[in-house]
Amino acid sequence: MLKKWLRVLNAELYYQLTISKKAILSSLIKFKKRKLSKHMSRQERISSLLKTEISRLLHQKINDSRIGFISIVDVKISKDNAHAWVYYSQIGSDEDKERTKKGLSSATKFLHAELSKLIRYMALPKLHFRFDDSLEKGSDLIQKINQL
């Protein structure tokens, strides 16, 4: 009798655990979907896509010697999606940064054309490249802290 009762109890516990696992998994999936849809607006998704694709194109398709090793830090899009400001970072001298700026401005039309081939579902914003000096400011701040 005791064994039978234990089997029933174990079966009930197993059933409850199985239901609990399924409920937890489904609620996690729902939470992730809500979190992604709530916190990522259309502009943020477009910005993320542009950042990835511009970075890839710069490193794979553009062979301009003026453009040094740069990293795309951020892409900000205007509210009307007409303009996109691409913030890039580069370590080097002021001459290197100036050459990179000129190289990027000459590559803008090519990048826009390549992006329009890749991203067909929307009108692409006009690209504007801006140097982001936050990396340099951060390293200067760290040096000042270390000197104290």
Q: Tens digits of per-residue pLDDT, 64-91?
A: 888 888 899 999 999 988 999 999 998 8
Shared domain for 125 and 82, answered yes or no, is yes
User: Which residues face 90 on adjacent strands?
Assistant: 70
Q: Which of 133, 76, 66, 47 is nearest to 105 (CA)?
A: 66
Task: Read off the pTM.
Answer: 0.68
Shared domain for 72 and 132, answered yes or no, is yes
Total domains in the fold of the chain = 2
CATH number for the domain spanning 78: value is 3.30.300.20
Shared domain for 26 and 84, answered yes or no, is no
Query: What digits encode the pLDDT tens for the residues 30-54?
Result: 555 555 555 678 788 889 899 999 9
* Residue 17 reports pLDDT greater than 90: no
Shared domain for 79 and 129, answered yes or no, is yes
Residue 25: give the domain boundaries.
1-38
